[in-house]
């Protein structure tokens, strides 16, 4: 059985308040700091998210688009990449909630979304 709700993993560039607000609304959200992943490469960050069956939230568009392309070409599974413009954390949360309230974890697999 798969999870219905998307678990969000925030790479270290994303404000930790995003995770706090998501958790306060009942969603599972983990920061790189909580996961002891600070200082890891983008490849390692995505691998960690995959190991946790989590969608990764990042501000790093260029590198994560390339990683998504590599996963696609290799036929590898990821649980979603959400790329956010650097906006105030409240705005990021609002945009994320739109996705989290309308998309299942299964629907998020191998997707790249921009907020």
Give the start-to-end residue ranges of the domains of the chain: 8-114
- Confidence (pLDDT) at 72: 96
Judge whether 71 and 112 are in contact, CB under 8 Å: no
Q: Note whether 93 and 112 are within 8 A (CB).
A: no
- Nearest to residue 13, comparing CAs of 58, 53, 52? 58
pLDDT at 88: 95
Residue 3 pLDDT = 74
Can you give the pTM of this predicted structure? Answer: 0.94
Q: What is the pLDDT of residue 2?
A: 58
Q: What is the pLDDT along the chain (115 residues), one digit of tens a residue?
A: 457 899 999 999 999 999 999 999 999 999 999 999 999 999 999 999 999 999 999 999 999 999 999 999 999 999 999 999 999 999 999 999 999 999 999 999 999 999 9
Per the CB < 8 A criterion, the answer to whether 5 and 101 are in contact is no
Architecture category of domain 8-114 in CATH: 3-Layer(aba) Sandwich (3.40)
User: Of 19, 68, 18, which is closest to residue 43 (Cα–Cα)?
Assistant: 68
């Amino acid at each position: 059985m798969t999870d219905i709700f998307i678990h969000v993993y925030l790479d270290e560039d994303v404000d930790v308040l995003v995770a706090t607000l998501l958790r306060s609304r009942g969603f599972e959200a983990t920061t790189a700091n909580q996961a002891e992943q600070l200082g890891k490469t983008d490849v390692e960050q995505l691998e960690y998210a995959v190991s946790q069956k989590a969608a990764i939230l990042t501000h790093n568009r260029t590198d994560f688009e390339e990683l998504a392309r590599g996963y696609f070409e290799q036929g590898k599974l990821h649980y979603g990449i959400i790329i956010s413009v650097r906006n105030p954390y409240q705005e990021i949360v609002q945009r994320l909630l739109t996705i989290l309230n309308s998309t299942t974890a299964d629907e998020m697999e191998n997707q790249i979304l921009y907020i």
